[in-house]
Amino acid sequence: MSALPRLCDAGFAPRYDRAAMTAGVVHLGLGAFHRAHQAPVFDALAAGGDLRWGVTGVAMRSPGVVAALAAQDGLYSLSQRGGDEAAPRVIGVLKALLVAAQDPEAVIAALADPDTHLVTLTITEKGYLDHGPASAAGLIARGLERRRGLGLAPLTILSCDNRAHNGAVARDAVLAAAQGAGIGDAGLRWIAEQAAFPATMVDRITPAATPAMIAESSALLGREDAAAVWTEPFWQWVIEDRFAAARPDFASAGVQLVADVAPWEAAKLRLLNAAHSTLAYHGLLRGHRFVHEAIADAQLAALIEQVWDEAAVTIDAAVVDVAAYRAALRRRFANPALPHALIQIAADGSQKLPPRLLATLGERSDRGLASPALAAAVAGWVVALGRIDGLADPLLAELQPIARGTESPSAILARIAPDFHAETEIDTALAALRETA
């Protein structure tokens, strides 16, 4: 089969002038999520005639995705699965492709390009822990410092990762990296005062692409697409309305611009992501492989409803209709057309649990409320650490003793969620789960 650029011959090509498009965006973290979530927005803007928002796509480490996309001239197809199926849509916004670990200077140059106005980040929760010169934060710090030296406008940095207060987290990481890189006071002040780090809430369930997905998309296209992505029909992006300089007409592409993202962020993390993590650990322990299988297990479905009942009281009902949100999640999780592997969601629990489960537990315990379902969810993580092979985590070495059951998880919970103080509830849930699971 011929590769994707030939789609132009077949009439699938994006209907805008890719050659005339400039790269107004540098995106760090070129995984499936970016290709399913932010890239279609820039694609819609280009289709609407604004060609300033092409993307320089940067993979932090892995050259594989960049090689696959480069062989296709940056084109790839995005397929919506479940509900309103549509033909794969070819996205053409990736103008340039880089691997940060191989060519950090090229990334800094892209960040310091006069055409660049926005940086979007999907570097996962743990991506903000690293403040070294080659990290995302390090590259952004050096890019901003170069812009200042060149007399260019600052940038808006949009974190699109599932961290609480992701804008502030990104800002802290960039400032720490700038300090580590020896950037002086004037440069630090310029970053702190001129660059913008709005909070954002991103949502679209997008599993890592599998060979089967790639084969099926390629067959539908009649052309090989080694970078094909499958995603769900649902899509949401809420951005705090605070930009440093030029910005696209995001609202025209369906993005919600709001004064305060916090209520959206809480609903997303504490309802969707909390349920995902609960299903991942308990589902794997009960022998399931995919989200749609786990949610069809009556025992797990009941646990998820209890997790949602417990989380609901911490969500601002004036902004988010929790009942409607829950109803939508039940449908989205049950989607059989989009196999979403539990083992992928189960990765990096030490980074994911604090905003998804531990913050809610802490808030409830402050109000004198017990949280048996949330505690059971956390206990699922601890038991899964000991029983499920292949769970990735940046703190894996420290987690070994609790995985083996030789240590209570209290110390690690206190470390990953300093405000957390519901250890007794976790110990009780853990003892109960160890007896039954």
Q: Which residues bind ligand CS2 (CB under 6 A)?
A: 162, 203-205, 272-273, 276, 344-345, 352
Q: Least Å distance between CB 213 and ligand CS2? A: 15
- Please give the DSSP secondary-structure letter assigned to residue 358: I
Q: Least Å distance between CB 381 and ligand CS2? A: 12
* Amino acid in the structure at residue 289: R
Output phi, psi for 151, to 5 deg: 75, 25
Angle at alpha carbon of residue 287, lines to 282 and 288, rounded to 5°: 75
Cβ-proximal residue to ligand CS2, closest one: 276
Q: Least Å distance between CB 313 and ligand CS2? A: 22
Q: Least Å distance between CB 277 and ligand CS2? A: 7
Is residue 329 within 8 Å of 274, Cβ to Cβ?
no
Counting Cβ atoms within 10 Å, is residue 185 exposed (0-12), middle (13-18) or buried (19+)?
A: exposed
| Alpha-carbon torsion angle 10, 13, 17, 19, nearest 10 | -90
Of 139 and 345, CB closest to ligand CS2:
345
Of 106 and 325, CB closest to ligand CS2:
325
Q: Least Å distance between CB 58 and ligand CS2? A: 20
Q: Looking at the chain, how many residues does it have?
A: 437
Of 204 and 247, CB closest to ligand CS2:
204
Q: Least Å distance between CB 111 and ligand CS2? A: 26
Closest by alpha carbon to 246, among 212, 196, 206, 200? 196
* Amino acid in the structure at residue 408: S
Of 344 and 408, CB closest to ligand CS2:
344
Q: How far is CA 244 from CA 56, 116, 237, 248, 254, in A?
A: 19, 12, 19, 12, 21
Q: Least Å distance between CB 104 and ligand CS2? A: 27
Closest by alpha carbon to 384, among 358, 356, 346, 419? 346
Closest by alpha carbon to 139, among 118, 159, 109? 109
Q: Least Å distance between CB 413 and ligand CS2? A: 19
Of 77 and 162, CB closest to ligand CS2:
162
Q: Least Å distance between CB 39 and ligand CS2? A: 15
Closest by alpha carbon to 108, among 79, 148, 69? 148
Residue in this structure with the two tokens 């994707």, named with its chain if needed: 4
Of 154 and 354, CB closest to ligand CS2:
354
Of 135 and 273, CB closest to ligand CS2:
273
Of 156 and 162, CB closest to ligand CS2:
162
Closest by alpha carbon to 263, among 331, 199, 205? 199
Rounded Cα–Cα distance for residues 205 and 211 (Å): 18
Of 253 and 279, CB closest to ligand CS2:
279
Closest by alpha carbon to 320, among 246, 239, 261? 261
Reading the block at residue 350, the tokens are 């030490």
SS3 content of the chain, % helix, strand, coil (to 5): 50, 10, 35
Of 73 and 232, CB closest to ligand CS2:
232
Residue in this structure with the two tokens 């993202």, named with its chain if needed: 261
Q: Least Å distance between CB 13 and ligand CS2? A: 29
